[in-house]
Amino acid sequence: MRDRDKFIGRSDSGQSLPPRRIKPRGNGISYNLFWGILLFSLYWNFHFLLLHLTNQGGLHSSTMSNFQIPHHILQHEFAKREFMNGPSGGGAAAAMEQPPPVARNLTKDLEEMVDFASPELMLKTAWQGLLKARGKKTPYRIITNVVPRKRVKRKDFGADDFSLSTHATVGRLDRLLEEYRRWDGPVSAAVYISSEADIDILLSFIHDKGRILKDIAIHVLMEDLSFNSNQYPNNILRNLAMSQLETDFFVALDVDFVTSAGAYGQLRNLLDVYPNLFDVLRNKTLLVLPAFESSRYEVTTKNATGHEIVTQQVKTLEAPLDKKDMIQKVRAGIVEPFHLKQFPPGHGPTRFPIWFDNRTGPLYPITYHRKFEPYVLAYRHGLPRYWTGFRGYFFNKYSWFVEVNAMGYNFAVLRDFFVFHVGLSGGSTKIPAWKSREWQKFLRYKDLIHGNREMPVFQG
């Protein structure tokens, strides 16, 4: 039989033989490896296609629960811009000392942002990713629009409008709700989560109050405290809330403060009557909302050993509804300007006597003084971000006003508006050494980027 006949399957007699499988040379390992790689590639191509459809809305959220979906990373320059320590300074900023590792990780490594439909899926997936990355990546996760804002209060709502920017822990969600009710307008709120129990508290709040939260957008900062201290990252949260504003104009507030009742609508009415105030805000002027608090009195209590302890308590008091109500309560001695006795530079430059006198136009100018840290209405474009190296008490808000003053901003007071502090005041009076060092670092940055603008001392 010829070699060709062997190849095509013929016998010596010329009859056709059954087809014969031709095996590859060698032991077959390369052959099997080829098919294994091909099948593996097809599987992962299908898997990533499925994830892409999920993230683009191609799958309903009920279908998503059948899969264990990993969080994806959005690595883009926006995160760097929105959470950097101060404004971009090009080569000069790069030459500055870097912020501490916690702040640097937030800007350098970028945040992992989860973009799924269900709040529970968003939060718990992000938390698991945070734990898995412990010690390897940034100890933060940023999740925007865990609760998206659903309602438009005005037909002409748009960028040329007002929002409230605020932040809170899950332990103060009740105050966030009260703050929202008093403001009665759009809110961008950043909420801090540092444990799985915090997630459950926030989810319960969303479930119970979801029908009320029509004008609030809730964004979450998660942090693994095994990496960091337990000091509250107020400035990182302020940056997060500001970065997600839907409007050009906003009131920057802490969750322990409320506005006068219906302040959002009152501001809209004021700007309808005085539209030139929009230009005032755009031309680098911050409008101050004077801050007040309940008057304090001493209460003597006894501890378990019988020793007497004098504590500072705050009277239970409903926040004044409007300016008339505020003036009546101040005259009655149950309300006073915020921390004016304990720390005059903090709010003294507001010039409260002029506010009480009520003889100016809708606003009156004031001069910035060192250590002034008011609550303001501002135009968000061009403003710096808060310095993220400060956590907890001391320097966190004050440093921001030092920078805006160095940038040439002016200050004026809104005559008919105010904010009111609810709850107890507290905190340490001793500045830790690391914060003093951080303060010097901030000042060097500020002087290099903006120059050393004079900061007069408040004399009272």
Q: What is the DSSP letter of 156?
A: T
- The answer to whether residues 417 and 263 touch, using CB atoms and an 8 Å cutoff, is yes
Q: Provide the token pair at 283.
A: 């031309």
Per-residue pLDDT of the chain (460 residues; tens, 9 = 90+): 444 444 344 444 555 545 444 444 545 556 666 777 777 666 655 554 444 444 433 333 322 222 222 333 222 233 333 333 333 333 333 333 333 333 333 333 334 444 445 888 889 888 888 888 776 666 788 999 999 988 765 555 666 899 999 999 999 999 999 999 999 999 999 999 999 999 999 999 999 998 888 899 999 999 877 655 667 899 999 999 999 999 999 999 999 999 999 999 999 999 999 999 999 999 999 999 999 999 864 433 343 444 444 444 444 568 899 999 999 999 999 999 998 888 888 899 999 999 999 999 999 999 999 889 999 999 999 999 998 887 777 767 888 999 999 999 999 999 999 999 986 655 555 666 666 777 677 777 777 777 776 666 666 6
- Four-CA torsion 242, 247, 249, 252, nearest 10 degrees: -30
How far, in Å, CA of 55 to CA of 92, rounded? Answer: 39
pLDDT on residue 459: 61
Q: Provide the token pair at 295.
A: 């008057």
Q: Provide the token pair at 396.
A: 């966190």
pLDDT on residue 8: 41
| Burial class of residue 391, CB neighbours in 10 A (0-12, 13-18, 19+) | buried
pLDDT on residue 456: 66
Helices within 210-297 (DSSP H only): 234-243, 263-273, 276-282
How far, in Å, CA of 57 to CA of 51, rounded? Answer: 10
Backbone angles phi, psi at 165, to 5 degrees: -110, 125
Tally the C-alpha atoms within 13 A of residue 341's C-alpha that lie toward its C-beta: 7
- CA distances (Å), origin 117, targets 57, 69, 113, 149, 161: 9, 12, 13, 14, 27
Q: Are strands 419-421 and 257-259 parallel, antiparallel or unpaired?
A: antiparallel
